[in-house]
Amino acid sequence: MKPLDLFALDRLASAEDLAIRDTVRSFVSDRIRPEIADWFEAGQFPVRELARELGRLGVLGMHLEGYGCAGTSATGYGLACLELEAGDSGLRSLVSVQGSLAMYALYAFGSEEHKQHWLPALAAGEAIGCFGLTEPDCGSDPAGMRTVAKRDGTDWVLSGTKMWITNGSVADVAIVWARSDEGIRGFVVPTDTPGFSAPTIARKLSLRASVTSELVLDDVRLPADAVLPGAAGLSGPLSCLNEARFGIVFGALGAARDSLECAIGYAQDREIFAKPLAAFQLTQAKFADMTLELGKGVLLALHLGRLKDEGCLTADQVSLGKLNSVREALAIVRECRTILGAAGITGEYPIMRHSANLESVLTYEGTSEVHQLVIGRAVTGHSAFR
């Protein structure tokens, strides 16, 4: 029996959502698992090829309707994220940034022309998108952004620097958030626009199978219609982050599940003091506690998925899920690593890779501290952000 089987979770998802889960699980098994350790070690992976394959799989912007998107339930999207991240958090990040950040921003706030032009290509993986909100001097507090958009006649001219941008140097289109006379606005920036460059950030020890870049905007001139007409102020980018966080609520638990299954398998085979490591009480206590936390995490994720499908999921509730899933997933993968002993630190097993990846997942899309502050504000009525 696998740990999650104990919870009979399949009863909580529709047949369609379970079919999505199984399809993505097979893709990860056949296409990602045989290669991922090498991609991670090399810090390189075939991102364009994978984007097209993920497009054919139907997972890019899968919960959006029309424009070549699959129009699945939110729960189906969450389960897909869980399976992708059981392969690697980098793979799930590619899908999250494409679908929940770049595509969602266009879908929710773009003009009909923006949607027609970009969404079908992004859904098919023929084009890659990125989302530039964070800057070198402001991450958790995006209101402090320094990137500016100034009017010049009817054109817009963007200048500034964005930092830690997933998919940045491989993107065809960047959604860039900038300060203007009209407040914070979002811009659709084709990455071949003069003045735009995206140097890749090197020497990452986490999410090595994911592209992370700086975005440099050196007087990037854009036509009047480059602005996203439906987004004014920070609520625009924050609602996109909320979409991506929802995927992480499920996704991080995939990395935990993969690590736990690996550790259980290892402990069955490893003989210590003349019996299997899995037969010791101390080891079983670890497995019992991890199974419980994993199952509780998935139950919460499925509940949030249902709320989202009913159209009543709040941002505070997403914070509950993001904080819980990533924090518990990290605790689980670290405990799993102890079960493998020295073998656990190598790339022969997925656990250390998941552990390194989850350090990024803990930080992006709102750090754990930021989500604690959100939940703290909800239950006390006091904002402690400043």
Ligand X SMILES: Cc1cc2nc3c(=O)[nH]c(=O)nc-3n(C[C@H](O)[C@H](O)[C@H](O)COP(=O)(O)OP(=O)(O)OC[C@H]3O[C@@H](n4cnc5c(N)ncnc54)[C@H](O)[C@@H]3O)c2cc1C
Q: Which of 85, 293, 328, 365 is catalytic?
A: 365
Taking the C-alpha atoms of residue 271 and residue 267, their distance in angstroms, rounded to an integer, is 8
Give me the least distance between CB of 47 and ligand X, in Å please: 14
CB 325 within 8 A of CB 248: yes
Q: Which is nearer to ligand X, 59 or 130 (CB)?
A: 130
Q: Which is nearer to ligand X, 51 or 339 (CB)?
A: 51
142 token code pair: 């995006």
Q: How far is CA 21 from the centre of its chain?
A: 17
Q: Does 385 bind ligand X (CB under 6 A)?
A: yes
Taking the C-alpha atoms of residue 183 and residue 279, their distance in angstroms, rounded to an integer, is 62
Q: By C-alpha distance, which of 89, 67, 90, 64 is closest to 77?
A: 64
Measured on CA atoms in the order 295, 298, 209, 331, is the torsion positive or negative? negative
Binding residues for ligand X restricted to 226-245, rule: CB under 6 A: none
Residue span binding ligand X (CB under 6 A) among the ranges 19-27, 132-140, 150-158, 217-225? 132-140
Q: Does 140 bind ligand X (CB under 6 A)?
A: yes
Q: Which is nearer to ligand X, 325 or 360 (CB)?
A: 360
Q: Is 335 a catalytic residue?
A: no
Q: Does 102 bind ligand X (CB under 6 A)?
A: no
Taking the C-alpha atoms of residue 49 and residue 306, their distance in angstroms, rounded to an integer, is 33
For 151-190, the three-class secondary structure string (H helix, E strand, C coil) is EECCEEEEEEEEEEEECHHHCCEEEEEEEECCEEEEEEEE
Q: Does 57 bind ligand X (CB under 6 A)?
A: no
Give me the least distance between CB of 43 and ligand X, in Å please: 12
Q: Does 191 bind ligand X (CB under 6 A)?
A: no
**Alpha carbon of 288 to those of 2, 50, 139, 159, 295: distances in Å?**
12, 36, 37, 53, 11
Burial of 325 (0-12, 13-18, 19+ CB in 10 A): buried
Q: Does 363 bind ligand X (CB under 6 A)?
A: yes
Among 39, 104, 107, 131, the residue binding ligand X under the rule CB under 6 A is 131
Among 184, 207, 220, 326, the residue binding ligand X under the rule CB under 6 A is 207
CB 292 within 8 A of CB 328: no
307 token code pair: 């709320």
Q: Which is nearer to ligand X, 284 or 383 (CB)?
A: 383
Among 119, 165, 188, 336, the residue binding ligand X under the rule CB under 6 A is 165
Residue span binding ligand X (CB under 6 A) among the ranges 27-35, 80-88, 296-304, 357-365? 357-365
Among 98, 166, 169, 324, the residue binding ligand X under the rule CB under 6 A is 166
Count of residues in the chain: 386
Helices (H), 28-73: 36-42, 47-57
Q: Does 97 bind ligand X (CB under 6 A)?
A: yes
Among 73, 98, 100, 134, the residue binding ligand X under the rule CB under 6 A is 134
Q: Does 367 bind ligand X (CB under 6 A)?
A: yes
Among 254, 351, 364, 374, the residue binding ligand X under the rule CB under 6 A is 364
Taking the C-alpha atoms of residue 243 and residue 322, their distance in angstroms, rounded to an integer, is 11
Amino acid at 363: T
Q: By C-alpha distance, which of 74, 255, 260, 106 is closest to 172?
A: 106
Q: Which residue is nearest to ligand X (CB)?
A: 139
Give me the least distance between CB of 302 and ligand X, in Å please: 26
Q: Does 133 bind ligand X (CB under 6 A)?
A: yes
Q: Does 84 bind ligand X (CB under 6 A)?
A: no
* Contact footprint for ligand X (CB under 6 A): 97, 131-134, 139-140, 164-166, 207, 212, 360, 363-364, 367, 369-370, 373, 385
Positions annotated as catalytic residues are 365
